[in-house]
Structure 1
Amino acid sequence: WPVDTLKDMMRGHLDQTLAEATAQLTGDFEASVAEYAHITTHILQMADALADGIITQFPDRFLA
């Protein structure tokens, strides 16, 4: 994966986590729950991207 793409994904995840924590700490529980849903979707997308990159980098270590 391109480094900039990975950095953008990680920055986005951190921004979402901060937004969720801020909502939770300020008592905006509806926003907290909504942001948490976005976080879980995004982290699964990040996991897929990282796995794809590892498989591309080391194809001989994975079965087709």
Structure 2
Amino acid sequence: MTLFVRGPRRKRASKAVAGMMPTRDTWPASVEPGGEAAGSRPATFDEYQLMHSLLSQRDLID
């Protein structure tokens, strides 16, 4: 009988996911501990069109 023991491993980041991830400078600012949480809101029509065009360019939607 043979026993194989493996330690925890991290998977490499997918290149497809890395290509879709926006650059760090476009991320929203982090909230200070104890600060007010930002409420969610529906996307504006311009934001929707931008997301639609980005997904379309990457052939993720028709």
User: TM-score scaled by structure 2?
Assistant: 0.30
Q: Which has the higher contact order (CA 8 A, sep 6+)?
A: 1
The structure with the largest alpha-carbon Rg is: 2
TM-score (norm 1): 0.30
